[in-house]
Amino acid sequence: MLDQKLIRENPTSVEESLSLRGKVFNISQIQELTLQKKEIDIEISTLQSESKKLSKLIGQEISKSKNYDSPEVNNLKKKGNEYRTKISEFEERKRTLDQNIHNEICNLPNLPSKDAPIGKNESHNVQVKTWGDPFVTENLKSHWEIGESLNLFDSVKSTKISKSRFITLTGDGARLERALINFMLDMHTKNGYLELMPPALVNSESLRGSGQLPKFSNESFKCSDDDLWLSPTAEVPLTAFHRNELIDPKLLPIKYVAYSPCFRREAGSYGRDTKGLIRLHQFNKVELYWFCEPSKSLEAHKKITSDAESILKKLNLPYRLVDICTGDLGFSSSRTFDLEVWLPSSKCYREISSCSNCLDFQARRSSIRSKIDKKNTYLHTLNGSGLAIGRTMAAILENGQQTDGSVKIPDALVPYFGSNFFKNCLI
RNA sequence: GGAGAGGUGGCUGAGUGGUCGAAAGCGAACGACUCGAAAUCGUUUAAUAGGUAACUAUUCGUGGGUUCGAAUCCCACCCUCUCCGCCA
């Protein structure tokens, strides 16, 4: 959520900044509403002030004369009644204004950082660096072909259980998934993160707090009988963990790592990535999340990104770092670095982690503050996948494939997986 | 699911119609004492919105209502706790 004061005082610069996202936002309309509200606010508070004084006077009058019904008192009460009707009229108008303003502002995305590259869509994202050797050989198998031949997962049977875009991991596939989760959690907790295992179902307020609602309700699964949704990312419960809190500044920065299943409807992606582990309605993810004071968030953004990178390096997976352009930024983010892993079968890099600095956007929506320099200040929040498990498995299968059809398990993972090769199991 | 209790500041907790934005304690900040610290003593310390400021308004779970006036009375909802039932 953007600061109302900022919108009121700098509508043009807000409008210009938001337009870098490639859409037109009508800020002046919101500004007009907030100005109207301000006028009414002043009107109401003067009336309330007078009515309050009157009430006190009545109280004094009554205690002096010990008479609740004297003509003087009744006269004053009549006057008080007039105030009340007047005030409630104004309040009615204020309420509708407030609602409109709130709706409008909640639908505005975060302002893109001045450092983010300007562009319209993902083709304008900027590659910052690459790591490792993105090898290209002919006759490479896709990860779903490898998975099928080694019996690591079964998507056909999964449609019986649920529907398409769900997967059942089997045998060594399930074991590898588990190994990856444990490996990542261990790496990050050794690196100073506190592990959390949050609920997978979250309420509407939590989704609003991190920016998924009201705009993106069609991207999450909703429970029909309750005000609960299947969490699309651990970012949601982690933000909500501290909602409406004043955090002791001594605890900052707070660094959480959380494993969670993630559920996404993937509406509008029909026909894309229909095979394999890349795009599923349910997937596992290890998420990194920071709360820090505003002056430290740029530095924190670099750190959270390099913490996510360290996993790719340990697993020896070639990747590149991409600076997301203004037109491709997520709703809550002001700046995002994506980590994209090399998938040799499709000869391209695919997103495996997205590390975002949301500044105070989510903290304002969720009211998460700290007393910094004697002032209550909204904290900055940062999130980054560290990493998406299914896509990591896809990358391991494709990058580790050998000419004899076997797959080399990265050395760092062997202690977690318990072996350096897959046993081909029969189902 | 049934019965009961309760939601008050950073935290604990008093307050049942009239200077109550709210006692007290804890915590925190500053000062004194000290070589320094602990202990002790003193002072200060809720948030939000508007305003350069003085100040004004709002906020005692949320939303309505009664009243000149509500933390306090009425209604609805949400949440938490205890007991019982069910259950991994």
Domain stops at, among A105, A140, A170: A105
Same structural domain for residues A90 and A189? Answer: no
Distance A69 CA to B5 C1' (A): 40
The distance (Å) linking the CA of A243 with the C1' of B46 is 18
Nearest nucleotide by C1' from A45 CA?
A: B57
Peptide bond into A71 cis (omega under 30): no
Residues A77 and A130 in one domain: no
Nucleotide nearest to A54 (CA to C1'): B68
pLDDT of residue A348: 95
Q: Show which positions of strand B are touched by protein (CB under 7 A).
A: 10, 18-19, 47-51, 56-58, 64-65, 67-69
Contact A410, A397 (CB under 8 A): no
Contact A125, A112 (CB under 8 A): no
CA distance A280 to A274: 8
For residue A344, cis peptide bond before it (omega within 30 degrees of 0): no
Percentages of chain A per state (helix, strand, coil), in multiples of 5 = 45, 20, 35
A99 and A127 housed in the same domain: no
Q: Are strands A245-247 and A368-372 parallel, antiparallel or unpaired?
A: parallel
Q: Please, what's the b/e burial string for A352-363 (b: 16 or more CB within 10 A of its CB; e: otherwise)?
A: bbbbbbbbbbbb
Write out residues in chain A with pLDDT < 50, as ranges. Answer: none
pLDDT of residue A328: 97
CATH code of the domain containing A18: 1.10.287.40
Q: In this structure, are A266 and A225 located in the same domain?
A: yes
Cα A95 to the center of its chain, rounded Å? 29
| Domain extent for A253 | 122-422
Q: Which residues contact A233 (CB under 8 A, 6 or more apart)?
A: A260, A262, A285, A287, A383
Nucleotide lying nearest to A87, CA to C1' measure? B57
Q: Answer whether the bond into residue A387 is a cis peptide, omega within 30°.
A: yes
Give residue A424's pLDDT. Answer: 67
Cα–Cα nearest to A210, from A244, A237, A246, A245 = A237
Q: For residue A362, give the CATH number of its domain.
A: 3.30.930.10
- Per-residue confidence (pLDDT) for residue A255, from 0 to 100: 95
Task: Give per-residue pLDDT as tens, A163-175.
Answer: 999 999 999 999 9
Give yes or no: residues A233 and A276 share one domain.
yes
Q: Considering any atom of strand B, list protein residues whose CB lies within 7 Å.
A: A 4-5, 8, 38, 41-42, 44-46, 48-49, 51-52, 54-56, 58-59, 62-63, 68, 76-77, 80-81, 83-84, 88, 95, 246, 369, 371, 376
The pLDDT value given to residue A99: 86
Give the C-alpha distances (Å, rounded to integers) separating A324 from A21, A279, A311, A318, A379.
11, 20, 21, 19, 23
Tell me which residue of A254, A255, A252, A206 sits closest to A371, measured CA to CA. A252
> The tokens 């007393």 sit on which residue?
A371
- Domain membership of residue A276 (yes or no) is yes
Verify that A80 and A228 share a domain, yes or no: no
Q: Considering A73, A105, A137, which residue would you say is the last residue of a domain?
A: A105
Question: A62, A77, A105 — which closes off a domain?
Answer: A105
CA-to-CA separations, A254 to A26, A178, A375, A423, in angstroms, rounded:
36, 26, 19, 41
**E strand or H helix at A35:** helix A27-65
How far CA A305 is from CA of A111, A278, A338, in Å, comes to 20, 21, 8
Residues A231 and A328 in one domain: yes
Q: Which two tokens stand for residue A243?
A: 């909602």
Give chain A's domain count.
2
State the ipTM, two decimals: 0.87
CA distance A424 to A180: 19
Extract the tokens encoding A26: 């009508």
- Helix A297-314 to helix A172-190 angle (10° resolution) is 140
- What distance in Å separates the CA atoms of residue A263 and residue A356, rounded to the nearest whole number? 20
Together in a domain, A78 and A126:
no
pLDDT of residue A139: 86
